[in-house]
Amino acid sequence: MWDGISCKKATIPSGITIEFLPPYSPELQPAERLWTLVDEPLVNEYFETINEIEELLVQRCNILREMKEEIRNLTHYHWLNSL
């Protein structure tokens, strides 16, 4: 567990757990299918600062928290029971 310690160049905040995946493991990366939902408000937009992008992404993540069924449909593999 890498909780609360530095991992290469990134500092991992307390409460975050890093799971290292094999270099090619599409069946272990259902989150890849979520990019269309996450980047929707960013497409073809211009931002003056990184803070503007961060604020928009925080708002989007709050919306995504309520989209459980859509996320389940995009990421649910037959072997994935934890969602």
> Rounded distance, CA 16 to CA 2, Å?
8
Q: How many other C-beta atoms lie within 10 A of the C-beta of residue 64?
A: 16
In the three-class reduction of DSSP (H, G, I as helix; E, B as strand; rest coil), residue 7 is classed as strand
What tens digit of pLDDT does each residue of 23-68 get?
Answer: 766 666 667 778 888 888 888 999 999 999 999 999 998 998 898 8
Q: How many other C-beta atoms lie within 10 A of the C-beta of residue 52?
A: 12
Considering the entire predicted model, what is its pTM? Answer: 0.52
> Rounded distance, CA 33 to CA 3, Å?
26
CB 48 within 8 A of CB 36: no
